[in-house]
């Protein structure tokens, strides 16, 4: 059995977060296209859908979507920085800052939701 000490490292969890956020965002794309198609087909159907999106559960899901987008963006920037600048001890700090930015963006979105 291989030791699994690498799974306790911040870079491993940043890797997992980046991959999972990318997968969840990819699963969201068909839903997004469905709603765009709804807008093209019928204004009445779109209005009904938009009224449904005012529920608290949908607002929470939208907030999670924004957090996923921010997490994926900061994870991608982290990977680009690793490619260009290599690994350093301060990169753990970069992982923490990226995660913090993603959460702040999501919470800011949640506070601005009407």
Confidence of residue 88 (pLDDT cuts 50, 70, 90): low
Confidence of residue 104 (pLDDT cuts 50, 70, 90): confident
CATH 1.20.1300.10 matches 17-112: yes
pLDDT, residue 10, reads 75
pLDDT, residue 83, reads 77
Residue 95 pLDDT exceeds 90: no
Do 98 and 21 contact (CB within 8 A), yes or no? no
User: Average model confidence (pLDDT) for the chain?
Assistant: 82
SS3 53: coil
Confidence of residue 79 (pLDDT cuts 50, 70, 90): confident
CB neighbour list of residue 28: distance below 8 Å, 6 or more residues apart: 65
């Amino acid at each position: 059995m291989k030791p699994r000490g690498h799974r306790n490292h911040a870079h491993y969890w940043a890797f997992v977060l980046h991959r999972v956020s990318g997968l969840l965002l990819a699963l969201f794309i068909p839903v997004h296209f469905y709603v765009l198609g709804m807008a093209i087909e019928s204004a009445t159907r779109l209005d009904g859908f938009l009224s449904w999106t005012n529920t608290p559960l949908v607002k929470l899901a939208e907030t999670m979507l924004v957090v996923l987008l921010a997490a994926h963006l900061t994870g991608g920037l982290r990977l680009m920085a690793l490619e260009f600048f290599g690994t350093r001890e301060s990169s753990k700090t970069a992982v923490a800052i990226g995660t913090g930015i993603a959460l702040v963006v999501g919470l800011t979105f949640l506070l601005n939701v009407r």
